[in-house]
Amino acid sequence: MGILDIFRKKTATATDPVCHMAVEKEGARYTSEYEGETYYFCAPGCKQVFEEDPPRYIGADKPAVEM
């Protein structure tokens, strides 16, 4: 592996269901399980809001929170 391979490696990302920001899955600090699915969050606030009403955010076309 050469030094440039670091830049070529693409990390797996998920979309925060609350604010729709991209979140790297590897090493994610804020996650939540709902109906057998793992959801990833950019911050503890988004995680908390999601956990209060998950169906509101799953599959939403627009972010509930503008960043």
pLDDT, position 66? 66
Q: How confident is the model at residue 64 (pLDDT cuts 50, 70, 90)?
A: confident
pTM above 0.85, yes or no: no
Q: What's the pLDDT score for residue 41?
A: 97
Three-class SS string for the chain?
CCCCHHHHCCCCEEECCCCCCEEECCCCCEEEEECCEEEEECCHHHHHHHHHCHHHHCCCCCCCCCC
